[in-house]
Structure 1
Amino acid sequence: MEIESVAKYPKSEVAGMGAIATETGVSFRVWAPNAQKVFVMGDFNDWDRSTIPLVQEQNGYWSVEVPDATTGQQYKYVLKTKAGQLIKNDPYARELTNSIGNSIIHNPAFDWEDEDFRIPDWNEMVIYELHVGTFNVKEKGKPGDFYGVIERLDYLKALGVNAIEIMPVAEFPGGHSWGYNPAHPFAVESEYGGPTGLKALVKAAHAAGIAVILDVVYNHFGPTDMDLWQFDGWQENGMGGIYFYNDWRAKTPWGDTRPDYGRAEVRQYIRDNALMWLEDYHIDGLRMDMVPYIRNVNADENPANDLKDGSSLIQWINSEIHNRFPGRFTVAEDLHCLDFITAPVEHGGLGYSSQWDGGFVHPIRKAIIDMHDEGRDMNAVAESIVHRYNNDAFQRVIYTESHDEVANGQARVVQEIAGQDDVNTWYAKKRATLGVALMMTAPGIPMLFQGQTILANRWFDDQDPLDWNRFSEFKGITKLHRDLIHLRLNKRGYTRGLSGQHVQILNVDNDRKLIAFHRWKDGGAGDTTVVVMNFSHQAIDNYSLTFPEEGVWKIRFNSDWEGYDSDFENYFSFDTEAVGHRENTLFVATVAIGPYSTIIYSKE
């Protein structure tokens, strides 16, 4: 017969959840409102299940301070419940041996070396999305880790990227995953390098001038390897218990594991998680996955399915971040193209800094992937260029590839165009780079997906490492991306307009498949910029085009340059002079542009 001891240690006087190291031991606190008794066991008591009981506090919380415990030791909770004895990992565990292993008392100490990093202004941000497990794999059969990413930061810095967006790193089942199945939301994936590895990556990225944005998942948890499931034995309808809805609201496309956004303790749990990444890991921003499933059960616009508690939770988190961490960046994956997603909380919005823009990626991918020129709708392209939220161009993230766009039945742009594994075709390279050029010159925050700059030719798979040998084969394509990014960031001093709010469509020719637009920030020399794009397989010569100012306009970029790829035709384009009448401010110049090409003009 098991003998349970009386309280051996006092309840904790330390604020905070989980295992927190103190000067006199370790504080443990857990929320288990339906447990009859709670114990903690671990390396510090030879894993005895009954010698260290937690003291019951108010509102279902239990705590104890254990003087014999220390950082690095493993532990678990033992819960006596009506459903029987349950052995559970700490919901707030910062570190685990693995997703089905033990919690570890985390040592938060890390030498940040007086780091003083500031995220780029949003109008100057260029994002590169990556997946830690496949980005730079060092050992066949094993996932990559944070240290492998660090090895490639010099490449990203040379490219001009100043922000990386990392797919989710919360502890998930096994070693290979996209990361959108977080089993332990507060723990960092052990096979990626754990908490220390993530901190090392952030520190190295900041030293290279690169911000770190982290993808987080709050629309569901798991659905497997979750100690959160029926955590303290209570449940209704055979569902998830205290951390989850236990009715029709639990249902998501990924399992019946939607958190209960209306329960105060669950709201606190998710809020604490969001702020942890910024406070403890110095993360510069959060991208929240599939926000529609937080604000609505079915991610539709039916008010009967709205989750008002989910929306208010988002507002709370974004308000906390903006108030406590000014300048940090929050971005929503919503794709419903709604202003209120990025409208301020005080105006009834959700308060995100920006949102992934479905109004850009879908029409632009269609325009560049379509096999036939006549299928390219230049009016739709024009609409995607001028689209914005709340009259702010940088409340949208624009891209042609992301982890979603190159998987789930879709492929890389070059593969969609080529229709085969060998993407080294003229059509694929020309139209893929046409899309990138538009992304880098249209108003918005541009985002690349890993491998896009080296013409990666396979859809995204969490067990298919990025092939860095392609860098040698496609150095010219990398250079094209680099040149566009440098122009986007005005590194050469004559395209400041590409980082400005303003855009004006100068010409839309749906017959010739040509579009031209004017970008500017403040206007004037070194600022005013004109982008001309040919979405046709035929070169266009002697084309009369309206320019915003008179005078000589110099070519700053021509995507048809053979230096980018030996298959490119180096079509003869030239500096041009706009002439006309000042009284009607109509200035006309003649341009020539190669097939599926982009030319960027500016004045000195």
Structure 2
Amino acid sequence: MRHNTWSALLLAGLLGCGESALENQQRSGEETAEVVQRLGPSGRPGMGATIYSGGVTFRTWAPLAQKVFVAGDFSGWGWVELGGEGNGNFSGDVAGAVKGQKYKFVTRNQWGSDAWRADPRAAWQENSTGASIIYDHGEYWWNAQQFSTPGFNEMVIYEMHVGTFHDSPGFGPGNWNSAIAKLGYLQDLGINMVKVMPAYEFAGDFSWGYNVAFPFAPESAYGSPNDMKRFVDEAHMRGIGVIFDVVHNHWGPSDLPMWCFSGNCLNNGGEYFFDDGRKVTPWGNTRPDYGRAEVRAYIRDSMMNLLDNFRGDGLRWDATKYMRTIDGTGDIPSAWQVFRSVNNEINTRNGYKISIAEDFGGGNSITDNASGDFGGGAGFDAQWSAEFVHPIRAAVIEQNDANRNMGAVAAAIGQSFSGRTHARIIYSESHDEVANGHSRVPEEIWPNNAGSWASKKRSTLAAGITMTSPGIPMIFQGQEILENGFFSDQDPVDWQKLTDFGGIHNLYRDLIRLRRNWSNNTRGLRGGGLNIHHINNTNKVIAYHRYENGGPGDDVIVVANFSSTTFNSYNIGFPRAGTWYLRFNSDWSGYSGDFGNTPSTNTTANGGRKDDLNYNASFAIGPYSLLIFSQ
């Protein structure tokens, strides 16, 4: 039986019958399909499902399809045929459709076979294999109207995995609401940017998030789109910006709505994906075809969705090396077009929002400015620095003092990209560095004894170098409470450690506040000026001068002892005469009862050339300790 009107559907008792009707329609395509309406193409804008007064416009890109239908709660899961636009898009205005209703597309391929498809641009998903849900981005009422994204030189980033940040073992993962409950804690810690690991619909409920299947839809296990917006809103109300981690080097590889979307797989996954050697990635044969304008638009729109509709303050692009190359070699020029066009648009529209690459190999070309879509660098504001994290981790994990290389530490502190001091993200822990065969730094220092004196001393020394070096510092969730082991998507942060290692937490808090110049006497730590003037590879001590403009309250001297030796009177050069106040001593016993409390104090710099500076001063410094002085 075929029905051609909404009233006929109602009489048949189909409208609102949900999944039973859907299952019936999925059996064998046109033979059992209820084509309840045929529409001409819409003149309204928007891709996916776009709400208008009185209905919803549906539009999808299916360039190889013969026909496309949409079915959902609004039609009793009868098929509504969409009009072809002649450009690969099919669209139609469905009167009476409203937000919250479920829907799917049906694509008929060139051979006449039909297949049900979730919307690749779905703003909300039941789950990765379920129906798409009509969502109105205008329905959320934002509260934090006056928030200003911190300047790049003021950012301190906290990397967060929503599923494990604030959760208890067992049952489902943590969610946006559980993460919101700890935002006040991050505010007190001094964090002003949170980098959220990918939180868009993926297969299953537990994942790092790098198997993104629906780049426009928040992960259903974490909550609704409104929950995700509330997380951003609540962060903004506490002075914290949000950076979203995005994945476009591959998708999935499972539960992909765009896979063979038109019904013709083109020797791989259809029109969204490369079908030659460029399809191959370390995570599956699902690299997007950046050469297609529609795929580039899909990627661009998913990112602008995060910056505009979710009011994100920046993006961190995962593994851009595997966008621009096939396997680390073999250039993919069209990926550079994606980098440049999106970064140029962000800079033009919202230059204060940060765009970060994880590349590890592109050097200055990644952060050099882009010249349009086809020339210059990739145009990223910053990139993760392997040149920093690996030497610093090596220096503190090494068991033998004699093997610590102060030259390598100095190079890590002084490294930069594209001549900009804040064009790099620096850290000693990240999701990658504490998994994939590695562990948290305290665990690496002493396996199964991360609470040891050595683990505490040397891991906090790495944190001190991170917070006082040029660049944008970042810590990974739980690092500040001496989290041990390795990162797993089913192992939540153990917040009991906040009690057990509260002093270590306070050490991180003090470092972060000094880095952000909270007391207006360490402005140089957020500046670009750097002079590494003292490198003692024999005694394993390094010192450097940090400054923005120079002068009292600005000039900062950092001294780091990478040895187990206590120096009761250590002398280095200082840039100015007078009293230099000790702002931080990582050996203070208030941070941990087993720290030595070496009596480091204020010091006075007198005339006398040392380390190519005109003044010098002496002080005590404990083992594996970091001191910060300023005037």
Q: What TM-score, normalized to structure 1?
A: 0.96
Partner of 1:180: 210
Residue 569 of structure 1 pairs with residue 596 of structure 2? yes
Q: Distance in 2 between matches of 1:601 and 1:83?
A: 75
Q: Distance in 1 between matches of 2:332 and 2:536?
A: 45
3-state SS of paired residue (2:388): helix
Partner of 2:257: 227
Residue 313 of structure 1 pairs with residue 338 of structure 2? yes
Aligned counterpart in structure 1 of residue 117 of structure 2, from 72, 81, 88? 88
1:424 CA displacement: 1.0
Partner of 2:443: 415
Partner of 1:540: 567
Residue 527 of structure 1 pairs with residue 557 of structure 2? no
State the one-letter code of the partner of 2:183.
Answer: L
Aligned counterpart in structure 1 of residue 349 of structure 2, from 320, 324, 327? 324
Q: Distance in 1 between matches of 2:457 and 2:64?
A: 62
Q: Distance in 1 between matches of 2:465 and 2:439?
A: 19
Query: Aligned ranges for residues 30-179 of structure 1 at < 5 Å?
Result: 30-49=60-79, 52-81=80-109, 82=111, 84-108=113-137, 109-113=139-143, 115-137=145-167, 140-179=170-209
3-state SS of paired residue (1:411): coil
Q: Distance in 2 between matches of 1:116 and 1:432?
A: 37
What is the identity percentage for the equivalent residue pairs of Structure 1 and Structure 2? 46
Would the alpha carbon gap of residues 220 and 540 (structure 1) be closer, same or farther in structure 2, given more than 3 Å must change? same
| CA deviation string 1:24-80 (max 9, x = no partner) | 20000011111111111111111123xx10001121110011102111000001111
3-state SS of paired residue (1:175): coil
1:232 CA displacement: 0.9
Q: Distance in 1 between matches of 2:130 and 2:238?
A: 35
3-state SS of paired residue (1:311): helix
1:515 CA displacement: 0.3
Residue 432 of structure 1 pairs with residue 462 of structure 2? no
Q: Distance in 2 between matches of 1:313 and 1:428?
A: 43
Q: Is the 8 A contact 1:19 1:27 kept in 2?
A: yes
Q: Is the 8 A contact 1:138 1:148 kept in 2?
A: no
1:10 CA displacement: 3.5
| CA deviation string 1:260-316 (max 9, x = no partner) | 00011111110111111011000000000000011111123xxxx101000111100
Q: More deviation in 529-538 or 113-122?
A: 113-122
1:183 CA displacement: 1.1
Partner of 1:10: 40
State the one-letter code of the partner of 2:475.
Answer: L
Partner of 2:232: 202
Partner of 1:339: 364
Q: Is the 8 A contact 1:337 1:357 kept in 2?
A: no
Q: Distance in 1 between matches of 2:382 and 2:169?
A: 37
Would the alpha carbon gap of residues 128 and 573 (structure 1) be closer, same or farther in structure 2, given more than 3 Å must change? same
Q: Is the 8 A contact 1:553 1:575 kept in 2?
A: yes
Residue 450 of structure 1 pairs with residue 480 of structure 2? no
Q: More deviation in 324-333 or 199-208?
A: 324-333
State the one-letter code of the partner of 1:228.
Answer: M
Partner of 1:392: 420
Q: Is the 8 A contact 2:65 2:263 kept in 1?
A: yes
| CA deviation string 1:333-375 (max 9, x = no partner) | 0122611111111270111111101110010000010011111
Q: Distance in 2 between matches of 1:552 and 1:58?
A: 76
Residue 595 of structure 1 pairs with residue 623 of structure 2? yes
Q: Distance in 1 between matches of 2:161 and 2:620?
A: 40
Q: More deviation in 442-451 or 11-20?
A: 11-20
| CA deviation string 1:435-480 (max 9, x = no partner) | 0000000111000000000100121000111111110111100100
1:6 CA displacement: 8.3
State the one-letter code of the partner of 2:314.
Answer: G
Query: Aligned ranges for residues 11-26 of structure 1 at < 5 Å?
Result: 11-26=41-56
Would the alpha carbon gap of residues 581 and 544 (structure 1) be closer, same or farther in structure 2, given more than 3 Å must change? closer
Aligned counterpart in structure 1 of residue 306 of structure 2, from 274, 277, 281? 277
Would the alpha carbon gap of residues 512 and 173 (structure 1) be closer, same or farther in structure 2, given more than 3 Å must change? same
Q: Is the 8 A contact 1:506 1:547 kept in 2?
A: no
1:586 CA displacement: 1.8
Structure 2 residue runs of 5 or longer lacking an equivalent are: 1-30
Q: Distance in 2 between matches of 1:124 and 1:561?
A: 26
1:138 CA displacement: 5.0
Q: Is the 8 A contact 2:368 2:380 kept in 1?
A: yes
State the one-letter code of the partner of 1:86.
Answer: A
Q: More deviation in 383-392 or 443-452?
A: 383-392
3-state SS of paired residue (2:242): strand
Aligned counterpart in structure 2 of residue 251 of structure 1, from 274, 277, 280? 280
Residue 287 of structure 1 pairs with residue 316 of structure 2? yes
3-state SS of paired residue (1:155): helix
Residue 466 of structure 1 pairs with residue 493 of structure 2? yes
Residue 261 of structure 1 pairs with residue 286 of structure 2? no
Partner of 2:504: 477
RMSD between superposed Cα atoms in Å: 1.5
Q: Is the 8 A contact 2:169 2:490 kept in 1?
A: no
Runs of 4+ in 1 over 6 A off after TM superposition: none
1:541 CA displacement: 2.4
Would the alpha carbon gap of residues 595 and 205 (structure 1) be closer, same or farther in structure 2, given more than 3 Å must change? same
1:114 CA displacement: 6.3
Q: Is the 8 A contact 1:83 1:233 kept in 2?
A: no
Partner of 1:513: 540
1:588 CA displacement: 1.5
3-state SS of paired residue (1:323): helix
Q: Distance in 2 between matches of 1:312 and 1:105?
A: 32
Q: Distance in 2 between matches of 1:419 and 1:138?
A: 24
1:585 CA displacement: 5.3
State the one-letter code of the partner of 1:95.
Answer: W
Partner of 2:271: 242
1:492 CA displacement: 1.2
Q: Distance in 2 between matches of 1:112 and 1:4?
A: 41
3-state SS of paired residue (1:556): strand
Q: Distance in 1 between matches of 2:143 and 2:189?
A: 26
1:386 CA displacement: 0.9
Q: Is the 8 A contact 2:213 2:256 kept in 1?
A: yes
Q: Distance in 2 between matches of 1:573 and 1:524?
A: 23
